[in-house]
Structure 1
């Protein structure tokens, strides 16, 4: 009887030893798997940069009477993989507001690499002087750095960064441009920062709003409005808050 008990204890001890060993091996494998999965996730995140579109100030426009109106443009910040772009710098009297706003997004005026103005009207270029460290100032299709000048060719896209580029969108003025931002935090489709190609969301339903704001070519502007709406998920207009491009908006634009 004593021999049988001793033998059973020995078997139990061996089983317990093997069980602990297997448990230890299983724990090691799980730890290794988690580590590999974590590294793979970090690598994936590192390869998928998301461009950030931040509207610093919403634009507006309001007719006071036949000879007077109030207006200022929408001002937008785009953080790319290698660049920081400010789009439409408002009037010359808005410098302090822009300087005070940028630190809220971890930036100063010296961190801006590109200044993009959708066209050359005074309410869109007023604070360009703040960004003298920028590599390029782009006003309409004109590109400058200090006293060097060149231009964006007709119907040619101009790259700024990964998934960020300028496309000509004449109409409001014949040299008007839009900044297109792909892979953004706002939409799965591109974001179009398009200045006065669109005044505001309401002009998708009331054509007289954008025509009344001035157009160097109504026909060309109509074509470009539809082209941008068909490609974009979100539009940042020249004088109003950003808006999503809906099926209703597309249908209205096709009617105009």
Structure 2
């Protein structure tokens, strides 16, 4: 029997992960909260990858996050025009609600990659990663939806960071993620790969967590 590696949630004080050449910061921690009336309140995590040659925003939150997102970028000396890539891990509204702010960026949503109205060939839908450069890759991680992607960043101070969208809901999602999955069997495969290859995982609706393998 294969046991999952241990997961340990980071704290609010550990949301900035230094690295060389790229650092990863969580601009907003996502959440998913069931409500007494049977609805739920949810918003996606927003992450920023920064380095000397590229700035990559991973998920943009919902439209209601517009002012917060602009403020978080401003606090880091950035305007929307300074962002080179915007990645939507999948097309749900709480993850791609502010794409329109980044008209100068290369945009990747699920398996589509475009520069304006020019779409770039890739093999994400066939299971092949797309390398933005030698340290940053788009990795296909379907299951939650049919064409989810995650962003893998190597060379940080904690090792490999996977900005995973809703591949993981949160650190201790146990089986709760299955209720929101279009294909739990496929998602489980990609979850296991992530747990064996990433040192820190940034989930779609909770604090980042460290992965410890025995």
Give the stretch that moved more between structures: 77-86 or 172-181.
77-86
Greater mean alpha carbon deviation, residues 111-120 or residues 239-248 = 239-248
3-state SS of paired residue (1:183)? strand
Residue correspondence of structure 1 range 109-148 to structure 2 within 5 A: 109-134=80-105, 136-148=106-118
1:139 & 1:66 partners in 2: Cα distance? Answer: 32
Counting only pairs closer than 5 Å after superposition, residues 49-198 of structure 1 correspond to structure 2 as 49-65=20-36, 67-134=38-105, 136-150=106-120, 152-153=122-123, 154-185=126-157, 187-188=158-159, 190-198=160-168
Structure with more of its chain in strand, by fraction: 2
Q: CA deviation at 1:241?
A: 0.7
User: Which structure is higher in RCO with an 8 Å CA cutoff and minimum separation 6?
Assistant: 2
Note if 1:235 corresponds to 2:205.
no
Partner of 1:222: 188
How far 1:72 moved relative to its partner?
0.2
Task: Give the secondary-structure state (helix, strand or coil) at the position aligned to 1:194.
Answer: strand
Q: What SS does structure 2 have at the residue aligned with 1:181? A: strand
Q: If you compute each CA radius of gyration, which structure gives the higher value, 1 or 2?
A: 1
CA RMSD of aligned residues (A): 1.6
Deviation per residue, 1:28-87 (Å, 9 max, x gap): xxxxxxxxxxxxxxxxxxxx9421000000000011146410000000000133110000
- Give how far 1:147 is off: 1.8
Contact 1:82 1:161 in 2 (8 A): no
TM-score normalised by structure 2 residue count: 0.86
User: Which ranges of structure 1 fall in alignment gaps of 5 or more residues?
Assistant: 1-47, 249-256
Structure 2: gaps (5+ residues): 1-18
Q: How many aligned residue pairs are there?
A: 194
State the SS of the aligned residue for 1:193.
strand
Using the TM superposition, name which of 94-103 and 53-62 deviates more: 94-103
Distance 1:151 1:219, change over 3 A: farther
- Is 1:211–2:182 an aligned residue pair? no
CA contact (8 A) 1:81 1:162 kept: no
Give the number of the structure whose residues are more often helix, by fraction.
Answer: 1
